[in-house]
Amino acid sequence: MTPEPGEFLSMLTPDEISALRAAGRPRRWDRGETVMAEGETSDWVLVLTEGRVKASSHTSGGTEVVLAVRGPGALLGEMAALDGSARSATITALEPVAGVVVRDFPAFLQEHGRVAVLLMRLTVGRLRDSDRKRIEYGAFDTTGRVATRLVELAERYGEPTNGGLRVMLPLSQDELAGWTGSSREAVSKALRSLRDRGLIETGRRKVVIHDLEGLRKRAR
């Protein structure tokens, strides 16, 4: 798969990608497998090359909070690898995934200074995205938050089809609820509202967006 625009792998030159592959080893996971576990301490990072994963954490009450969905090109686990602390989230394969496991990532960065600078930019971008999501949770209702996440998925994974954009949704309604800080019932109601407006059509693990601009307006 082609790396997603803006993800780590898309920023590297062919020579840097070759060096990264040479420093690691390929590995695969099946759908539903845990790639990394929150709280564990390990020194490796994963550069995702195929498939999508979710990053999630659990509250003290056991509720899963989905922090992000990452696709091809994403760098995962870099914070724990750089500072030696425990992993802050669990990474789960939403579909069969493949990637390159790189151990001693700090040594790779020391040898490739430009990549280290790019990683800093990527980290800043993720912090800004995290701030934006916190604002959404306080300012938007559930339907607005669901619409925002659907717009994000459409822009990243949407495939043109008759009457709109088709997104093969790797998330269940429970996971979508965890990604929007809502209950499953509230997400179901929000999806029904968006369907009634003619903005989307839903099916098993897929959404067809008939009016992306209308969905963007509802997101705002």
Taking only the tens place, the pLDDT of each residue in 73-96 is: 999 999 888 888 899 899 999 999
Total residues belonging to the chain: 220
Domain 8-137 shares a fold with domain 140-219: no
Q: Where exactly are the structural domains of the chain?
A: 8-137, 140-219
Q: Is the pLDDT of residue 5 over 80?
A: yes
Q: What is the pLDDT of residues 90-146, one digit of tens each?
A: 999 999 999 999 999 999 999 999 999 999 998 888 888 777 777 766 667 889 989
Average pLDDT over residues 50-75: 89
**Average pLDDT of every residue of the chain:** 89
Q: What is the pLDDT of residue 138?
A: 65
pLDDT exceeds 80 at position 52: yes
Q: What is the mean pLDDT of residues 189-197?
A: 94
pLDDT at residue 179, rounded to an integer: 87
Model pTM above 0.95: no
Q: Which fold has domain 8-137?
A: Jelly Rolls (2.60.120)
- Fold entry, domain 140-219: Arc Repressor Mutant, subunit A (1.10.10)
User: Does residue 154 have a pLDDT over 60?
Assistant: yes
The confidence score (pLDDT) of residue 137 equals 67
pLDDT of residue 139: 67
Closest by CA to 75, choosing from 42, 37, 41, 115, is: 115
Burial (0-12, 13-18, 19+ Cβ within 10 Å), 9: buried
pLDDT at 34: 96
The residue-averaged pLDDT of 186-199 equals 93
Could you tell me what percent of the chain has a pLDDT over 70?
98
Q: How far apart are CA 61 and CA 41, in angstroms?
A: 23
Q: How far are the Cα atoms of 143, 162, 165, 208 from residue 157, in angstroms, in the given order?
A: 21, 16, 9, 12
> Residue 167 class from Cβ within 10 Å (0-12 exposed, 13-18 middle, 19+ buried)?
buried
